[in-house]
Amino acid sequence: MTDLALYITNKNYSSWSLRIWLLMRALDIPFEEVMVPMTGEAQIPGMTGISPTGKVPCLVDRDQGGLAIWESTAITEYLNELFPECGVWPAQMRDRARARALVSEMHGGFAALRGECPMNMRRPPVTLAVSDACRANVARAGAIFASSLDTSGGPFLLGRFSAVDAFYAPVLSRILTYNLLDSAAVHAFADALENLPAWQEWRAATLAETAMVAADELG
């Protein structure tokens, strides 16, 4: 038995919260969700004393004396160690290597896309003028989706749902919200996510949220 608490913030806007929440929910990893409202400050006041960075997501393992794990990549690896049978990473070594490379690339990259196009899941699609750097990020995401789905045969990027899908789900959400790319691979990845009950549950929650973050309401 494990006793995990996952601290997250506003579902409509928080892409880092979505990644770990989706990973855990889609893989049926049990956890208690703890919602700490976003305030627009660099550190979320509700996270003081829980995460040393004051950010979410933060996973707390109460079975380990309240061990707190921050940083999405570290949480992903911890979940893989706790639940090796759940498929956090693909089954084949070469796929795991690719999966880890893709997750690292996402975690450390896509700065222009993340900076210019805030995740806003409930927003009806709008066309946004973006920089060349952002366009290059979108092209790279589109190429990742296409080559991954071609190689794996889908329905998810590396075949079965894995951490790669969780990390790129908010990238896809931004592409759809701001009409950044219309391609077969974008549609195929969107279809796979939209058929996932965990994605449907998160999306429904974004529609029910009423808090607005003015800085993230563009277009």
Ligand X SMILES: N[C@@H](CCC(=O)N[C@@H](CS)C(=O)NCC(=O)O)C(=O)O
Query: Which parts of this chain interact with ligand X (CB under 6 A)?
Result: 9, 14-17, 38-39, 41, 44, 55-57, 71-72, 107
Q: Which two tokens stand for residue 122?
A: 């409930």
Closer of 16 and 161 to ligand X (Cβ): 16
Locus of tokens 């950044």: 180
111 Cβ contact partners less than 8 Å away, ≥ 6 residues apart: 133, 137
Q: Two tokens at 171?
A: 């990238």
Looking at beta carbons only, is 16 or 110 nearer to ligand X? 16
Taking the complex as a whole, the smallest distance from the CB of residue 107 to ligand X amounts, in Å, to 6
Write down the least CB distance from residue 20 to ligand X, Å.
8
Token output for 156: 């998810």
- Which C-beta is closer to ligand X: that of 49 or that of 153? 49
Shortest Å distance, C-beta 213 to ligand X: 9
Shortest Å, Cβ 195 to ligand X: 25
Cβ proximity to ligand X, 38 vs 134, nearer residue: 38
Residue nearest to ligand X (CB): 55
Contact indicator for 83, 23 with CB cutoff of 8 Å: no
Residue with Cβ nearer ligand X (40 or 124):
40
Q: Name the residue among 152, 142, 156 with its Cα closest to residue 184.
A: 142
Q: Find the shortest distance in angstroms from Cβ 184 to ligand X.
A: 30
Burial of residue 23 (number of CB atoms within 10 Å: 0-12, 13-18, 19+): buried
Decide if 63 contacts 3 (C-beta within 8 A). yes
